[in-house]
């Protein structure tokens, strides 16, 4: 939904389809459903970290997780530190199968508990690589929190601790997810319109 102010009134306008470069996408998950799923996952994280005094780290995996991270951290009820990293494995609409670290961790995590905040887990290659990086950097513990999981595509043994939503193995954009860096800004999630 996009909201526009017209003569003092708020008017709701739903964008059913968007075009990014050479592809058209149709609405798949409205923001209201995304927000409710984030509420649910935040309740689980808060239950696990209630009363903690160790100042856990929220690790934002750039760029896709920025919107999810912003929404999630507003709902957490414990003090935490924000750290970022950037990895990439996609070109266009498909994964290359190879994960590149484009930017290292922005802070020392030695001896810290880390909650990895991911936008989407599909092949799981990024998660496996991240777990290794965190181990090498001396994290005391690492947990994985993802907004979206594609169970059909995920075949790794790494446990996903917090999953907000499961979706089919389709290509999606919006709410931080992109097609060649386009489409991250939409608050709804759109699926490739075949």
Q: Is residue 22 part of a domain?
A: no
Rounded to whole angstroms, the Cα distance separating 15 from 19 reads 11
Q: Is residue 193 part of a domain?
A: no
Give catalytic residues, as residue numbers: 122
How high does pLDDT run on average in the chain?
A: 89
- CA 106 from centroid of its chain's CA atoms: 18
Q: Is residue 8 part of a domain?
A: no
pLDDT of residue 13: 42
Q: Is residue 43 part of a domain?
A: yes
Q: If you ran DSSP here, which 8-state letter would residue 33 be given?
A: H
Two tokens, residue 181: 């860096």
The total number of structural domains that make up the chain: 1
- The pTM score is 0.86
Q: Is residue 19 part of a domain?
A: no
Q: Is residue 173 part of a domain?
A: no
Share of the chain above pLDDT 90, in %: 82
Strand, helix or coil at 162? strand
pLDDT digits (tens, 9 = 90+) for 42-69: 999 999 999 999 999 999 999 999 999 9
* CATH code, domain carrying 108: 3.40.50.2020
Q: Is residue 25 part of a domain?
A: no
pLDDT digits (tens, 9 = 90+) for 121-158: 999 999 999 999 999 999 999 999 999 999 999 999 99
Which domain range does residue 87 map to?
Answer: 32-168
């Amino acid at each position: 939904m996009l909201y526009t102010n017209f003569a003092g009134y708020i008017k709701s306008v739903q964008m059913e389809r968007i075009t990014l470069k050479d592809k058209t996408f149709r609405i798949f998950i409205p923001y209201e459903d995304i927000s409710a799923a984030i509420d649910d996952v935040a309740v689980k994280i808060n239950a696990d970290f209630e009363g903690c005094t160790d100042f856990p780290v929220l690790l934002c995996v750039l760029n896709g997780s920025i919107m999810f991270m912003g929404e999630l951290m507003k709902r957490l009820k414990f003090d935490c530190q924000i750290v970022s990293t950037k990895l990439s494995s996609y070109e266009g609409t498909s994964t290359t199968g190879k994960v590149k670290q484009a930017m290292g961790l922005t802070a020392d995590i030695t001896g810290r508990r880390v909650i990895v905040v991911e936008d989407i887990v599909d092949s799981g290659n990024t998660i496996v690589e991240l777990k290794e990086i965190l181990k090498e950097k001396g994290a005391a513990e690492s947990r994985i929190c993802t907004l979206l999981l594609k169970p059909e595509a995920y075949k790794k043994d790494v446990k996903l601790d917090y999953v907000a939503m499961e979706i089919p193995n389709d290509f999606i954009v919006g709410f931080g997810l992109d097609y060649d860096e386009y489409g991250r800004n939409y608050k709804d999630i759109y699926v490739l319109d075949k």
